[in-house]
Amino acid sequence: MKTYGGGRVGLLGSFPKLSSMPRTTLPEIAFAGRSNVGKSTAINTLLGTKKVARVSGTPGRTQLINLFTIEERMIFADLPGYGFAKVPDRVKANWKAMIEGYLGGREHLKLVVVLVDSRHGPQTLDAEMIWGLRQASLPVLVLATKVDKLKRSKRGAALKSLREPLGLTTKSLIPFSSLEGLGTKETWKVLNDVAAGRDLEF
Ligand SMILES: Nc1nc2c(ncn2[C@@H]2O[C@H](COP(=O)(O)OP(=O)(O)OP(=O)(O)O)[C@@H](O)[C@H]2O)c(=O)[nH]1
Ligand SMILES: [Mg+2]
C-alpha cells in the first residue's frame, strides 16, 4: 500500500464499482459533490498534504472511487463528481450507477460529506443528493467550498441561502476554504465523532 504523511495515510486503491472494493471494517466517510467543487482538494487540506488525492482544474478528474485509510482509524472515499456536462450520456449514467451503488451498499459508510460551491446557491443535483442520503438514513455534513472567493461581507448571506433550502443547521453546514484552511477544525470535530462512534450533534 502506498503511504503518505509518514505512514498516517494509505491509499487502499481505486475502484470502478462497489463489488470490486475490499471488505473493510473501519468507519468510512465519503466525499461527494459536483465535479470541480473541490472534493479532492478538501481531502488533501484535511490531511495536511497536497499529495494524497489528485486535484485538477479540469472537471471530471476523479473517475474512480479512491479509498484512503487514515491512521487506521477511518477510511475516506473520494468519489467522482456528478453534474459534469462534457461527458457522453453513457459515461454519466455509468458514474451515477457507480456513486449510487456505493452510497447504497457500502457496509461501514457512516457519513457523507457533500461539498457544495458557496458561490452558487443550492443546485438541483446537490439538493437531490442530500435528500436521497437522508432518505437512506445516512448522516450528511455539508461543506460550502471556496469561500475565499466570496467577499467576507457576502459570506453570511451565501451560507444562509444554502442552509435553509437544504434543511441544514449551523452545525451541519460548514464554510470551507482549502486556500485559507477555513473550516478544517470544525470538519475534523465531526469526522472524529464519526470515527469514534459518537452521536452527531445535528
Ligand atoms: N479558490 C479555491 N479554489 C479551490 C478550492 N478548493 C479547490 N479549488 C480548486 O478547484 C479545482 C477543482 O478541485 P478538485 O479538488 O480537483 O475538485 P473535485 O471536486 O475533486 O473534482 P472532480 O474530481 O472532477 O469531481 C482546482 O483547480 C482546485 O485548485 C478552494 O478552497 N478555494
Ligand atoms: Mg476529485
Looking at every residue in the chain, the average pLDDT score rounds to 92
Ligand nearest to the CA of 43: 1
119-149: b (≥16 Cβ within 10 Å) or e:
eeebbeebeebbeebeeeebbbbbbbbbbbe
Q: What is the pLDDT at residue 3?
A: 77
Q: What is the pLDDT of residues 83-125, one digit of tens each?
A: 877 778 888 888 888 999 999 999 999 999 999 999 998 899 9
Domains of the chain: 2-195 (3.40.50.300)
13, 80, 117, 119, 161 from 150: Cα distances, Å: 35, 25, 11, 7, 14
Band of residue 188 on the pLDDT scale cut at 50, 70, 90: very high
**Lining residues, ligand 1, CB within 6 Å:** 33, 35-41, 55-57, 59-62, 80-81, 145-146, 148-149, 177-179
Q: What is the pLDDT of residues 40-58, one digit of tens each?
A: 999 999 998 888 888 777 7
- The pTM of this model reads 0.95
- Which residue's CA is the nearest one to ligand 1's atom 11? 57
**58 Cα–ligand 2 center, Å:** 10
